[in-house]
Amino acid sequence: MTGDKNINKIEFAKNKDAVDPLAQYRNEFYIGDKIYLDGNSLGLLSKRAEQSLMKVFHSWKEYGIDGWMKGDYPWFDLSQQLGKQLAPLVGAYESEVIVTGSTTVNIHQLISTFYKPTTSRNKILADDATFPSDIYALKSQIQLKSYHPKDALIQVKSKDGILYEDEIIEHMTDDISLIFLPSVLYRSGQILDIERLTQEAHKRGIQIGFDLCHSIGAVPHDLHKWDVDFAVWCNYKHINGGPGAVAGLYVNQKYFGKTPGIAGWFSSRKEIQFDMNHNLEAAVDAGAYEIGTPHVLSMAPLIGALEIFNEVGINNIRKKSLELTNYFIELIELELSQYKFKIVSPIEEEKRGAHILLEHEQSASICKALKSHGIIPDFRAPNFIRLGPVALYNSFYDIWKTVNVLKKIMEEEQYKNFDNTREIIA
């Protein structure tokens, strides 16, 4: 935290922006006249992502089916090429990462691969604060193995939006077959200690995987060094790959050669794929976990988006992200304490991801009021406001203005002009 007595002055924010080494990247994005604080749900379009999409689109126009092997970005191995660009963001070898599927499809793929229940070990350990899709997939996989979720799914309970690693470890009992947890909780923004949890799981002979959807592109990872077994993530939040962007997955190289739980044509070794053999010879890397033909046009923006990340570096992104959220917290505590806002996110930097969660009984109507001022937040039921500044395109002025607009909304009770109910898409 800064401790600067002038922190609530506009000059403070502008001075921070003037010396921000990442400030130039704001011009890479289509922001318009709004303050966009929902990048942890859907990142903004960058000019480079737009350009790479159009190049791939043009290759379809120019080459037709030959686009699989021709053009600036041949489609046939594009999943592998993008996996190489993503690998530094998760701390993995290039061969351990592939761009494929969606988050939920990849959860099904990897749980079906790693969940091998026995009579004595048949339970999956998860938590009650993770994103619903993860739980839907886990329950589905448990049922496919002829078990009942009531018996075989164990969910560690969160307390005030926070999970405690000690309690998770206490639940790593002899009947646990597999563990699947979020890296960052989508509501509170809490970071779990992936390294510690992985070590404790392996001490007990349990394999463990993580959902990185709310940390990828905002928080550094070292999955291979930590010996994480597998992970999945989406690429449309902090990565800015666009709505419906093809997702990603990681599988530790020690499992190369393992038969994928869900096999498909693109699981094959690339050099023999077009032999059309009915006996699958799966790729001996993360490519084994591809299933069907890749969604090329939904991968194309990632080419440009990831170019920016590898130019800036994830550690520089994390540094600015923490500065932005620290600034947010200090201003909220200074300017909004009398309006009954509660900061749910961890205050400690090492425990906080890239967004701030505020609790308020009028959260839905406050979000609508913010939108009326051109500030885009994110509402989460039942009474939470998520504010997700993105290091590549949000400024310190954005933070200063948001808090001052929030103060005006509360002082003038502008939120009373809006229903305190969520919109269909919150």
**Which phi and psi angles does 290 have, rounded to 5°?**
-70, 155
Q: According to the annotation, is 113 in a ligand binding site?
A: no
Q: Are 215 and 184 in contact (CB under 8 A)?
A: yes
Q: According to the annotation, is 233 in a ligand binding site?
A: no
**Using CA atoms, how far apart are residues 287 and 203, in angstroms rounded to an integer?**
29
Q: According to the annotation, is 211 in a ligand binding site?
A: yes
Q: Are 392 and 239 in contact (CB under 8 A)?
A: no
Q: Are 210 and 241 in contact (CB under 8 A)?
A: no
In which element (H, E) is residue 53 found? helix 47-63
DSSP string, 354-409: S-EEEE-TTHHHHHHHHHHTTEE-EEETTTEEEEB--TTT--HHHHHHHHHHHHHH
Contacts of 424 (CB under 8 A, 6+ apart): none
Q: According to the annotation, is 202 in a ligand binding site?
A: no
Q: According to the annotation, is 68 in a ligand binding site?
A: no
Which among 302, 298, 301 is positioned nearest to 244, based on CA atoms?
298
Q: According to the annotation, is 265 in a ligand binding site?
A: yes
The partner residues of 123 in beta bridges, in order of sequence, read: 176
Q: According to the annotation, is 131 in a ligand binding site?
A: yes
Q: According to the annotation, is 214 in a ligand binding site?
A: yes
Q: According to the annotation, is 133 in a ligand binding site?
A: yes
Region for 285 from its dihedrals, namely left if φ exceeds 0, alpha if ψ lies in -120 to 50, beta otherwise: beta
Q: According to the annotation, is 103 in a ligand binding site?
A: yes
397 CB burial (10 A radius; 0-12, 13-18, 19+): middle
The partner residues of 124 in beta bridges, in order of sequence, read: 153, 178
Q: According to the annotation, is 132 in a ligand binding site?
A: yes
**Using CA atoms, how far apart are residues 104 and 101, in angstroms rounded to an integer?**
8
Binding residues: 103-104, 131-134, 211, 214, 236, 265, 293
Binding residues for pyridoxal 5'-phosphate: 103-104, 131-134, 211, 214, 236, 265, 293
